[in-house]
Amino acid sequence: MSSLLKPLPDAVMVDGRGFPIYTDYRDWIEFHLAMQDTESGEMAKIIFALSMFKEETPENIEAAIGGLIDFMLCGESRSGEESVSPGKRYYGYDFEADSKLIYAAFVQVYNIDLYDVSELHWWKFMALLSGMPDNTRIAQIMSIINQDTSEMQPKERLKHERLVQQLVAGRKEHDSARAPKSLEEYKAVMMEKIQKIKTETES
177 pLDDT tier (thresholds 50, 70, 90): very low
Mean pLDDT of 159-167: 83
171 pLDDT tier (thresholds 50, 70, 90): low
Q: Where are the domains of the chain?
A: 11-78+182-202, 87-173
Is the pLDDT at 136 greater than 60? The verdict is yes
Asked whether the beta carbons of 126 and 24 are under 8 A apart, the reply is no
Sign of torsion, CA 109 114 118 122? positive
- Mean of pLDDT over the chain: 80
Pick the closest to residue 185 from 80, 93, 35 (CA basis): 80
Q: Which residue has the higher pLDDT, 10 or 177?
A: 10
φ, ψ of residue 17 to 5 degrees: the values are -125, 140
Pick the closest to residue 184 from 32, 75, 93 (CA basis): 75
CA separation for the pair 35, 105 (Å, rounded): 25
Pick the closest to residue 9 from 100, 70, 62 (CA basis): 70
Q: How high is the pLDDT of residue 85?
A: 43
| Helix, strand or coil, per DSSP, at residue 13 | strand
Pick the closest to residue 69 from 187, 196, 193, 195 (CA basis): 187
Predicted TM-score (pTM) of the model is 0.77
| Helix, strand or coil, per DSSP, at residue 102 | helix
CA separation for the pair 159, 162 (Å, rounded): 5
Give per-residue pLDDT as tens, 37-88.
Answer: 778 787 888 899 999 999 999 999 889 988 998 898 888 754 433 444 444 4
- Helix, strand, coil percentages, rounded to 5, for the chain: 50, 5, 45
Q: How high is the pLDDT of residue 21?
A: 98
